[in-house]
Amino acid sequence: MKKENIICYKKGIRHGIPIALGYLAVSFTLGIAAQNAGMTAFQATLTSLLVNASAGQYAGFTVIAAQGSYLEMAVMILIANARYLLMSCSLSQKLSGDFPFFHRLLVGFDVTDEIFGVSMAYPGRLNPFYTYGVMTAAAPGWALGTCLGVLCGSLLPANIVSALSVGLYGMFIAIIIPPARKSRIIAGLVVVSMLASFLFAKIPVFGFLSSGMRIIVLTVVISGAAAILFPIPDGEQA
């Protein structure tokens, strides 16, 4: 392995540790949902290692609890996780063409909101070994929290379990604030995105859209408008 890749990998691990701590707290509630669906700690932990998607897993556990069909499961998770398709497309544009295609497949395996955020914030072209480092630290935290939720979730008061999920929002803020402070355009887009998301959730005419579908629509519209109004010069790296 090249020295540059090793450095990027170690840097990714350092940046992934805070994400792992947040995942540990948030996925605890996911473990409780898995327990309520009748899953064992092993089953729930394996699910978190292979899927690693909060909304998709919650949707899947809900279908399991309702004894739904495989088709219902597939459709539900496809809708809940559809936004990751857009994230993967965006990350693919940031990766250097010097790396073989299988690196894109490996990076796409664990595209979560937080891993996507820190990977996109990586200066210049993204070295996939940086993302691998983030995954190495973050993914076990998600799986461990799920396991602990199944084993110990029923022992904690409901208000404490609910409070654990707040940590994830702190990570989102930590991801968007630094680039927003450097660019007024990014700061404005963040504000527009939050207002649009709030309006989409409150206006009745958009009530038929799922939360995942609203994210997709807003992402395409706002990012498309930003690309047209504020294009990045060809000579400037992503």
Instruction: Report the candidate in 210, 191, 177, 196 with the shortest Cα–Cα distance to residue 58.
Output: 210
Q: Give the pLDDT of residue 45.
A: 93
Q: Map residue 95 onto helix, strand or coil.
A: strand
Q: 95 φ, ψ to 5°?
A: -75, 145
Q: Which parts of 99-164 fold into alpha helices (H)?
A: 101-109, 113-120, 128-152, 158-164
Contact 157, 35 (CB under 8 A): no
The domains of the chain are located at 3-167, 183-238
Closest of 94, 74, 29, 65 to residue 232, by C-alpha: 94
Q: What string of pLDDT tens digits covers the 238 residues of the chain?
A: 688 889 999 999 999 998 998 888 888 888 888 888 889 999 999 999 988 887 778 878 888 888 878 887 887 787 777 778 888 888 888 887 777 888 888 888 888 888 988 998 888 888 899 999 999 999 999 999 999 988 886 676 766 666 665 655 665 676 677 778 888 888 898 899 889 888 888 888 777 776 667 777 787 788 788 878 887 665 454 4
Helix (H, G, I), strand (E, B) or coil at 170: helix
Predicted pLDDT of residue 91 = 85
